[in-house]
Structure 1
Amino acid sequence: MSPSRMLLPSTSLKRFPIRPQSSRLPNIHHPTTRNHSSMKDKATVIDEFNGLVNMSSGELSEWLKEDASISSGWTKDGTGETVGHQSGRHIVDILENNPDMVPEKYRDGDIDHMRKVVSYCKRHLAQEEQAKKNTNSKSYKSLKNWGHDALKE
């Protein structure tokens, strides 16, 4: 038989091999999956929070009263208040309850929220240059609701 008339084996199985179930990696990026070993310790969270939140409780309280603050962001639970605005109120509470930033005086709920603030601010500062350039941008207003004034950097 000539080479041009030979039948070639099917390659479809070679392109899409089936891996055994045991070789599949866990989905560590799924939102409900927690990787506690990579969770920052309390001291790191406190340090990063105090570095990223560069507004005083008074400055943040005044900002949260402005229309730009109230209307910035998205609502989660139908209350009409944005997630960032709720966060800002919690940050004011944290700052007022522990103005000297004594690590032992933070409550467990404070640390949990501080962890969210650190995550939010770091993520948005890395992604959104508008926050640093335009005070009318959604990025700037949203970060300010989370206690970070990009103009103070």
Structure 2
Amino acid sequence: MTDALELDALWEDFHRVVNMTSVELATWLRVRDADENAEPLPETAGSPTGEHVLAILQKRRTDLTDDDMQVMYEVVDAVDAMADAGNEPEAARTRRRHRLMALGHDPSRP
């Protein structure tokens, strides 16, 4: 189990990189999975990681599980690794932005 100081730091890092609200993320996960032929049911839309991020956003810090904390570490690492790519072609920036938004991070926000 994680100690209180480590949990506090993880909580802060996670909420630093996840800059979308739970409503914004839920909407994005549904829209992202929609195509012209079918749209998944709201409860099945999005990636497992995106859905887990959404669940974490709806929890209090004291309710986090070990699985939640593992996903939080993964999301912080993934967002930090993908966040700075200023000279990419537009298509690559769009794909990167969509991947980040599936994790709850909108790179267009400060």
TM over 0.5: yes
Runs (4 or more) in structure 1 with deviation over 3 Å come to: none
Shift of 1:59: 0.5
Deviation digits for residues 95-124 of structure 1, max 9, x if unmatched?
1233xxxx3222221111100000000000
Correspondence for 1:144: 101
Q: Is 1:55 matched with 2:24?
A: no
Q: Which amino acid aligns with 2:78?
A: Y
Name the structure where helix makes up a greater proportion of residues: 2
Shift of 1:130: 6.3
For residues 47 and 109 of structure 1, the distance between their equivalents in structure 2, rounded to whole angstroms, comes to 17
Aligned pairs, how many?
Answer: 95
Q: Percent identity?
A: 25
Normalised by the length of structure 1, the TM-score is 0.54
For residues 7 and 59 of structure 2, the distance between their equivalents in structure 1, rounded to whole angstroms, comes to 17
Correspondence for 2:48: 86
Q: Between Structure 1 and Structure 2, whose CA radius of gyration is higher?
A: 1
Shift of 1:43: 2.2
* Contact preservation (8 Å) 1:49, 1:117: yes
Q: Which amino acid aligns with 2:52?
A: H
Correspondence for 2:76: 118
Matching residue within 27, 33, 40 for 1:70: 33
Instruction: Name the Cα RMSD after superposition.
Output: 2.9
Normalised by the length of structure 2, the TM-score is 0.72
Q: Secondary structure at the match of 1:120?
A: helix
Q: Which runs of 5+ in 1 are unaligned?
A: 1-40, 72-80
Q: Which runs of 5+ in 2 are unaligned?
A: 1-5, 35-43
For residues 116 and 59 of structure 1, the distance between their equivalents in structure 2, rounded to whole angstroms, comes to 20
